[in-house]
Structure 1
Amino acid sequence: MLINKPLAAAIASLLLATGVNAAPRLDTTKVVKREATTPATAGQASAGQRFIVKMTSRSSQGRAALSSSLSSSSRRAGISVGIAATSSSPARPAASAQVLRSMASPGWYVVKTSRKLTASETANFVRELAAEPGVSTVQVDQLYQPLDVGTRAVQPRLVPNDPQYGTMQWNFHDATGGVRAEQAWDKSTGQGVVVAVVDTGVVQNTPDLAANVLPGYDMISDHLVSRRDTDERVAGGWDMGDWVEESYCTQMGAPPHVGRASSWHGTHVSGTIAQQTNNGAGLAGLAHGAKVLPVRVLGSCGGYGSDISDGILWAAGATVEGLPVNPNPAEVINMSLGSSAPQACPQIYQDAINQVNAMGVVVVVAAGNSNADAGTYTMSSCDGVISVGASRVTGGKASYSSWGSRVDLAAPGGGGSVDGDPQGFIFQVINAGATQPTDQFSVGGYTGTSMASPHVAAAAALVQSVAPVPLKWNEMRDLLKRTARPFPAAIPASTPIGVGILDANALVTAATAEPCDPKTEDCTPPAVDLSNKVELRNLTSASGDVTYRFTAVAGKPLTVMTLSGSGNASLYVAAGRVPTSSDFDASSTRATNTETIRIASPKAGTYYIRMTGNFSGLTLVARQ
């Protein structure tokens, strides 16, 4: 994103004039432009090497048994005896292993060796420890990275007066690529809901956001990652920066690398969720009535899976050893992070997700920026999560977005420079510091599925705020998919990014609708308009039966057809009424997903179209 000086100056004056956090200030010369890239792989450990172990015993004897097992497995793995240097390898001192702490997920522990192990030593140690009695699972405690980014229309009541909303936040209001936020705000702003952002934390006192941020927790337990003085976890959840100097991460096992500035990733994500809105300053947030709970798990070089897992559970209100219970448990958790290479969901993540799902928490994750099958990467490879792909201002797939059957729906992530500035980026207020946070702030334009995911997390907060009964995660996923609007641009069948684009208005409308009583009212779903020769793509039966309507003229043949996708669809058409499988003017019910109906001499007026069956990725078009 390119911020010109007049624009930045305007934002600065507006923020300061309104008294929003007058001490921090916007840097009028800050230039920020960040597009999604595939993050580099980080190393595995600092000083020593960390592992996570699950014991079959959940009692106090589990820890004692593990401590005993570490000694014997270290000896069998050959790491407890030093090895002298040779002409081809340096000397390796004897290594020991100890239990660092219990984890929040029952039965799990963090183990650390006294030095970094070689690849062969690691494999031997994992194998021998896994063979110990009472040991269920052993895996390396890996580092993960943030994922870099017939009715009359009614004018919505809330069109925010935030000065940059209209020009920069297409993702909320654009008719083609946006999420229809303004209409949703008439029904809900997320009031009373807590959304945890498990990320790099939030910069304390960020202008236009601070009033909507609750005190969270910094879960990072390695000072090299946190950039704090000790390995202790601390209250707050404030982003201390995630910058790295050149080759800084090599001490954790990474290859040599260039330096980079702090991303302020969690602050940007949090702004999309709950930036203060309609306050005459800065930008808007989708669930601006909700509160953000920052849970810092990512720092320099990424974040350990053990800290991320504990962060998930602490956010939901579970007990974490050595920490106070979270007084503001989250109903929704956003995770814009993941593995930088293909990886199945680690058991520690799955255990944590299962636990918070059982507590009623909805977990939303970014699909990833690798333009690969999201189901082969963490977090989308985990069960119990809602996976979000990234769309552009055109409503098409962002080039970097990961895809596949595991992606549930898409939300704006930005197309980057291909769509230009500002239409190619998602904007929010971020800190202007290169390393540690300063009192200067700027507007940052980012792209990525990291930017798409918080749209859905915020939409979930809109629902939970007004739903008669809070939705469980699978109920939320199904409602999101059922109310998503069809992609207005072609999505290649080989790279699907869900059933459609988030429609916040349709979502909240459906969540607050009273159940229909067919004995006293017409329960037919509202029809979706079809325009002549305009294709509706990526339709799925997961959305339930949907009725479409087409306004025909007399005397010209009308053709209605389905194509592409997979499965078996049936097509029914009727003039002036909604067809059923037993009441229709024409039908096509071949055992395929390709159906065609041709009406040679249609009447002038409305034709209703209904599809049934089990299908996905389908395209529907009417031509006359």
Structure 2
Amino acid sequence: MINKQNLRINVLAAAVLSLTAGAGMAQAADLKVSAPQQVPAAKQQAANGIIVKYKAGSSAASSSAAKVAVVNGALSRATLSGNRGTASARAAAFSPQVARRLGVGADLIRLKSRLAGADLDKVLAELRADPAVQYAVPDARMYAIDAGTPARARAVVQADATPALVPNDPYYAQYQWHLNSATGGINAPAAWDVGAGEGVVVAVLDTGILPQHPDFASGALLPGYDFISDAETSRRATDERVPGALDMGDWVENDNECYDGSLAEDSSWHGTHVAGTIAEATNNALGMAGVAHKASVLPVRVLGKCGGYLSDIADAITWASGGTVTGVPANTTPADIINMSLGGGSACDPLYQDAINGAVSRGTLVVVAAGNSASNAANFRPASCSNVIAVGASRITGGIASYSNFGTVVDLSGPGGGGGVDGNPGGYVWQAGYNGTTTPTSGAYSYMGMAGTSMASPHVAGVAALVQGALADADRDPLTPAEMETLLKQTARAFPVTIPAGTPIGTGIVDAKAALDEALKEPCTENCAPPATPLTNKVAVAGIAGASGSEKLYSFVATAGKPVSFVTYGGTGNVSLHVGADTGTSTVVYTAKSTRAGNAETVRITAPVAGTYYVKLAGDAAFSGVSLLATQ
């Protein structure tokens, strides 16, 4: 079963295929299936650190002592549960200290004792009310968001099952439906005829990387950095951040160790799997393939045992995108794209948004997983942050994965796998991995199936890398993050099955070839017209469907003098109608609209000019079965 809670839900999939360098594939191992546990909301909010950004020009902004005084003041004013004593006693009990300055200009304040639940909320409220404070957020933990806990089953891989297809990776055809299936895949093979992402840097903020995995090409993995600043989480000897991003393992020895109700679990090797989706070596007669296999991956370790801290993730976003983080050497290979297959409960906080805005201002696209709680993604971060591409998960059928978060903040979807409901291998996304249960010396390099929006997100990041690489090859400027988001949403392939109106997961499934084709079109300079489906007078177009946020464009050639009407009707969901005359450019200015609730919309032009009118039908919510009629 797939759990409905969005924290610490890690699934390896049904079969884990063992690989040793030079020895090829071996029979899969036996493993036992176990179900993930829910994380109590109060535990999600427990914190021994608070991140405070002080207002520029305030006394607290320039003095560590004043920063601590502001926090002590909030602790003394808050009405905390239990007998917490006098203000001086509270100061001694919590003993706030400035731990370090973050890249966004906020400060991490460490507390000697943890705050949780209502007590944490009260202290944060007092801090936010202080005139010296711009924002204050808990240094909450974030988690990798694949869709379950480790699970394996018996499987046999036939070593002579090499398909006569390009690429020649022996397990591409059998396992990697997510790249090649016409129904649920991303149309990668057709895109590879155009480009493979060469010269593009994609940062993977995750559990780190296994750099010796044989299915990463030489030079594909950049040195990276380990941003985890807590030795217990990182499993390094000290709290210091260090060069490199080696995945030390994120196994948990005991139940209830991460939070009440958490279970012991094996290491996930999550970051290596995600990096494999983006840039695993392809057409090298070994293993499997990656989306943008000539791109470079910048591994940035932010997740370890029991997840990772918001303060470390925010600094990693800043550093990966080329910003400055005190105490960390400058990043000499700033990322064009950041992928974050991680998340946690609650809506976007100011720190996350601050870090993301900084990355986008430096030209870095930020792609994030929507989350795996089968809930509205507006209540999860970073999916609910602005200036990100939030990615939902689809199945091999092209339908919504049961665990995928949904809602208007989800921009588009990528293959995430349906888990056991779609069997093996079709229920999982397959990429590089490891079969060791603890440390990176406890097993052998392997290929793993995993399911989750964690797996969907790197498909979108990889397609973005294909686009930027192809534009560079064509001596064209790269797209801005906003332009890339628009391109990927508009070129997404329509879902082959109906997505329920109440659980929208974006405009469609990311389509690598369609994105490349659109990006590489020669720009129109004169007599331009946007691509549109022509309407015939008094002949309805029926059965129109789309996701929330999607747009469909139609055109109608009108004569002068006689009124023209555009009407939508029928079906389910909620659409709006926008009409504008041809301006001779590829940009339409819509001068009339109808935006009533539901699908009954009417726009009437009483005195039309002769020429083309463009009609945009927009999904204010997911819709299906709608008809559009033009009458003159």
Paired position in structure 2 for 1:497: 505
Residue in structure 1 matching 2:319, options 314, 320, 323: 314
Paired position in structure 2 for 1:141: 139
Residue in structure 1 matching 2:363, options 330, 336, 360: 360
Write the distance in 1 (CA, Å) between the matches of 2:77 and 2:169: 64
Shift of 1:505: 0.3
Shift of 1:423: 1.1
1:68-217 to 2 correspondence within 5 Å? 68-76=69-77, 94-106=93-105, 108-117=106-115, 119=117, 121-149=119-147, 159-209=166-216, 211=218, 212-217=220-225
Instruction: State the AA in 2 paired with 1:94.
Output: A
Shift of 1:41: 5.1
Q: Is the 8 A contact 1:262 1:433 kept in 2?
A: yes
Paired position in structure 2 for 1:525: 531
Paired position in structure 1 for 2:68: 67
3-state SS of paired residue (1:162): coil
Paired position in structure 2 for 1:50: 49
Shift of 1:94: 2.9
Residue in structure 2 matching 1:261, options 254, 261, 266: 266
Q: Is the 8 A contact 1:535 1:619 kept in 2?
A: yes
Instruction: State the AA in 2 paired with 1:67.
Output: V
1:347 aligns with 2:350: yes
Q: Is the 8 A contact 2:208 2:302 kept in 1?
A: yes
Larger CA deviation: 37-46 vs 192-201: 37-46
Shift of 1:610: 8.8
Q: Is the 8 A contact 1:82 1:95 kept in 2?
A: no
1:3 aligns with 2:15: yes
Paired position in structure 2 for 1:338: 343
Write the distance in 2 (CA, Å) between the matches of 1:493 and 1:171: 24
1:250-289 to 2 correspondence within 5 Å? 254-289=259-294
Write the distance in 2 (CA, Å) between the matches of 1:377 and 1:615: 23
Instruction: State the AA in 1 paired with 2:113.
Output: R
Shift of 1:437: 1.0
Instruction: State the AA in 2 paired with 1:323.
Output: V
Shift of 1:538: 1.7
3-state SS of paired residue (1:545): strand
Q: Is the 8 A contact 1:44 1:50 kept in 2?
A: no
Residue in structure 2 matching 1:290, options 291, 295, 318: 295
Write the distance in 2 (CA, Å) between the matches of 1:620 and 1:208: 46
Cα deviation 1:313-367 (Å, max 9, x = unaligned): 111011001000111100101111111x3x1101100001111111111101111
Shift of 1:424: 1.0
Paired position in structure 1 for 2:157: none
Cα deviation 1:207-232 (Å, max 9, x = unaligned): 20263211111111111111111111
Residue in structure 2 matching 1:441, options 417, 438, 445: 445
Cα deviation 1:425-451 (Å, max 9, x = unaligned): 100121111111125122211111110
Paired position in structure 1 for 2:22: 16
Shift of 1:204: 2.5
1:235 aligns with 2:240: no
1:327-406 to 2 correspondence within 5 Å? 327-339=332-344, 341=345, 343-406=346-409
5+ long unaligned stretches in structure 2: 1-12, 148-163, 535-540, 557-567, 580-587, 589-593, 603-612, 628-632
Q: Is the 8 A contact 2:339 2:366 kept in 1?
A: yes
3-state SS of paired residue (1:364): strand
Write the distance in 2 (CA, Å) between the matches of 1:287 and 1:465: 9
Q: Is the 8 A contact 1:365 1:387 kept in 2?
A: yes
5+ long unaligned stretches in structure 1: 18-24, 85-90, 150-156, 549-559, 572-579, 581-588, 597-608
Q: Is the 8 A contact 2:575 2:595 kept in 1?
A: no
3-state SS of paired residue (1:196): strand
Q: Is the 8 A contact 2:251 2:305 kept in 1?
A: yes
Shift of 1:284: 0.3
Shift of 1:206: 1.6
Shift of 1:116: 2.5
Q: Is the 8 A contact 2:145 2:342 kept in 1?
A: yes
Instruction: State the AA in 2 paired with 1:255.
Output: D
- CA 568–68 in structure 1, closer or farther in 2 if over 3 Å, else same: closer
Write the distance in 2 (CA, Å) between the matches of 1:527 and 1:51: 54
Instruction: State the AA in 1 paired with 2:400.
Output: K
3-state SS of paired residue (2:484): helix
Q: Is the 8 A contact 2:37 2:262 kept in 1?
A: no
Shift of 1:189: 0.6
Paired position in structure 1 for 2:630: none
Larger CA deviation: 434-443 vs 31-40: 31-40
Residue in structure 1 matching 2:411, options 384, 408, 413: 408
Larger CA deviation: 49-58 vs 30-39: 30-39
Instruction: State the AA in 2 paired with 1:493.
Output: A
Shift of 1:545: 1.6
Cα deviation 1:259-299 (Å, max 9, x = unaligned): 00111111111100000001010000001010111111111
Q: How many positions carry a matched residue from both structures?
A: 549
- CA 31–430 in structure 1, closer or farther in 2 if over 3 Å, else same: farther
Write the distance in 1 (CA, Å) between the matches of 2:73 and 2:549: 55
Q: Is the 8 A contact 1:411 1:456 kept in 2?
A: yes
Shift of 1:65: 2.6
Q: Is the 8 A contact 1:39 1:148 kept in 2?
A: no
Write the distance in 1 (CA, Å) between the matches of 2:278 and 2:595: 45
Shift of 1:504: 0.7
Larger CA deviation: 327-336 vs 560-569: 560-569
- CA 499–45 in structure 1, closer or farther in 2 if over 3 Å, else same: closer
1:474 aligns with 2:482: yes
Write the distance in 1 (CA, Å) between the matches of 2:121 and 2:248: 34
Shift of 1:246: 1.2
Q: Is the 8 A contact 1:541 1:614 kept in 2?
A: yes
TM-score, length-normalised on structure 1?
Answer: 0.79
- CA 390–31 in structure 1, closer or farther in 2 if over 3 Å, else same: farther
Paired position in structure 1 for 2:466: 462
- CA 122–621 in structure 1, closer or farther in 2 if over 3 Å, else same: closer
Cα deviation 1:443-501 (Å, max 9, x = unaligned): 21111111000000011111111222211222111111110111111111111111111
TM-score, length-normalised on structure 2?
Answer: 0.78
- CA 449–256 in structure 1, closer or farther in 2 if over 3 Å, else same: closer
Write the distance in 2 (CA, Å) between the matches of 1:561 and 1:34: 48
Cα deviation 1:94-141 (Å, max 9, x = unaligned): 3311000000002x0001112234656544543444454522222221
Q: Is the 8 A contact 1:39 1:145 kept in 2?
A: no
3-state SS of paired residue (1:94): helix
- CA 70–429 in structure 1, closer or farther in 2 if over 3 Å, else same: same
- CA 364–35 in structure 1, closer or farther in 2 if over 3 Å, else same: farther
- CA 443–32 in structure 1, closer or farther in 2 if over 3 Å, else same: farther
Q: Is the 8 A contact 1:333 1:361 kept in 2?
A: yes
Write the distance in 1 (CA, Å) between the matches of 2:92 and 2:255: 24
- CA 477–35 in structure 1, closer or farther in 2 if over 3 Å, else same: farther
